[in-house]
Amino acid sequence: MASNLATAFTRAVNIKYPVIQAPCAGHTGVDLVAAVSNAGGLGSLGAAMMPIDTMRNTIRAIKQKTTQPFAVNLFCRDPHVPTVQELHQDYPNVDTVLERIRKDLNLPTPTKYTLRSPPLDEQISVILEEKVPVVSFTFGILPDNELERLWNAGVYLIGTATSVKEALILAGLDEQDPTRKADAIVAQGLEAGGHRGTFLFDEQQLPVRDLTEQIYDMFKRRQPPTSEKHISVPILAAGGLSSGADVAELLNKYHADGAVLGSLFMLSKDSTTPSVQRRIMMESDQQPRLTRGLSGRFARGFPNVFMEKMDQLADTDIPSYDIHSARTKDIAGHASANGISDYMMLWSGTNARAAGQYTDQANLSADAIVAKLVKDITNATTS
């Protein structure tokens, strides 16, 4: 089966199957990442918000459980890092709502706000020291000096695109910027859960099938294919993929070289997804929607009291991601630790209920999910 499902991407990163576990931060612990990689897919650690020591220790723990390739995911940063003064200045409308929420939850007002992510150069130093083979990134483009550090060490880089233009820039196929920024591209469709990887905010964003198809067509026009099917920059489809049939369709009809699955693996027995969020993903009649109110960046998740209250604010009230995410993390962290679903960040793709059905209502292990996907992809591909 492995040879039948081989793609340009599986060959490039030396894995068996074109199945990539999405790096859903907060849900992708050691057990999940190692299990997916051991099963022949690519496990991914959502490390963007991890303290440096935690990141290093987690990578080492993964390496104790698997000798197979895995990825670490990072956030690209705004060129301007907020100063301490900017982090602590007043945002009256936002602060009023957050203070009401803290009062409801009996939480103190933070005396100090800190950035969600440690310095990028320190994170990359850990990746290089620990010899991580694959790095994925989102929210933009890595700085040139960091790209050079990673590529010089032989690290395979996966960038995230939510539009055709973003994909062209990452692949080095943009007419105005022919310098490659990544080895492979995640085509993040509108159905995807969690944060949008957008960095060109005026470009059209599309459902995963349309986005994958249009990226492939543009890549094919601008760079000769390496074979009848595959172009030289692999495309990994992401967004609402919740079954082997979904993956097979993207691989066979839309020319993807791999599929990135988030909700499906969030519901595996190996993930760290809280039980209350699992229930909501499998049972809620509501549809996950996009919001900027919880972190300062658009992200898709299930509506709750937190989202409703923050979405009543004007978009101009909400500061940038770095500042706003620092202000809301105490509320989200407390809610997650105590199972208070009204104030959690319930990130999820659009087809969570289908993912629940595919995982036998969250009763399958990660390796069992990979095996089921491979069987169904193979059957769909050969039928």
- Residue 2 counted as domain residue: no
pLDDT of residue 128: 98
pLDDT of residue 223: 76
pLDDT of residue 166: 98
Q: pTM value? A: 0.96
pLDDT of residue 381: 82
The 10s digit of each residue's pLDDT in 151-210 is 999 999 999 999 999 999 999 999 998 999 999 999 999 999 999 999 999 999 999 999
Whether 52 and 154 share a structural domain: yes
Mean pLDDT over all residues of the chain? 95
- Residue 44 counted as domain residue: yes
Whether 26 and 158 share a structural domain: yes
pLDDT of residue 2: 47
- Residue 284 counted as domain residue: no
Work out the burial of residue 221: count CB atoms within 10 Å of its CB; fewer than 13 is exposed, 13-18 middle, 19 or more buried.
exposed
Q: How far apart are CA 26 and CA 5, in angstroms?
A: 30
- Residue 1 counted as domain residue: no
The helix/strand/coil state of 336 is helix
Q: Which residue, 216, 299, 312, 196, is CA-closest to 256?
A: 216
- Which residue is it, tokens 């301007």? 80
DSSP string, 183-242: SEEEEE-TT--EE---S-TTS----HHHHHHHHHHHHHHHS--SSSS--SS-EEEESS--
DSSP-derived letter for residue 347 is B
The 10s digit of each residue's pLDDT in 46-83 is 999 999 999 999 999 999 999 999 999 999 988 888 99
- Strands 299-301 and 289-291 come out as antiparallel
Whether 93 and 185 share a structural domain: no
- Quick check: 234 and 211 in contact, CB under 8 A? no
- Which residue is it, tokens 């490390």? 47
The helix/strand/coil state of 281 is helix
Whether 182 and 244 share a structural domain: yes
Q: Which domain holds residue 106?
A: 80-116+289-345
Whether 186 and 301 share a structural domain: no
pLDDT of residue 357: 97
Residue 258's alpha-carbon distances to 160, 255, 313, in angstroms, are 14, 9, 39
Which backbone phi and psi does 86 adopt, to 5 degrees? -65, -35
Q: Which residue, 87, 89, 158, 76, is CA-closest to 123?
A: 76
- Residue 20 counted as domain residue: yes
Percent share of the chain, pLDDT over 90: 92
Tokens standing for 82?
Answer: 């907020």
pLDDT of residue 1: 41
- Residue 282 counted as domain residue: no
Whether 141 and 156 share a structural domain: yes
Query: In this structure, what CATH number is given to the domain that contains residue 191?
Result: 3.20.20.70
Task: Reduce the secondary structure of 119-134 to three states and give it as a string.
Answer: CHHHHHHHHHHCCCCE
- Residue 303 counted as domain residue: yes
Whether 243 and 312 share a structural domain: no
The helix/strand/coil state of 266 is helix
Run of H or E residues at 30: helix 30-38
What's the total number of domains in the chain?
2
Residues of the chain with pLDDT under 50: 1-2
- Residue 73 counted as domain residue: yes
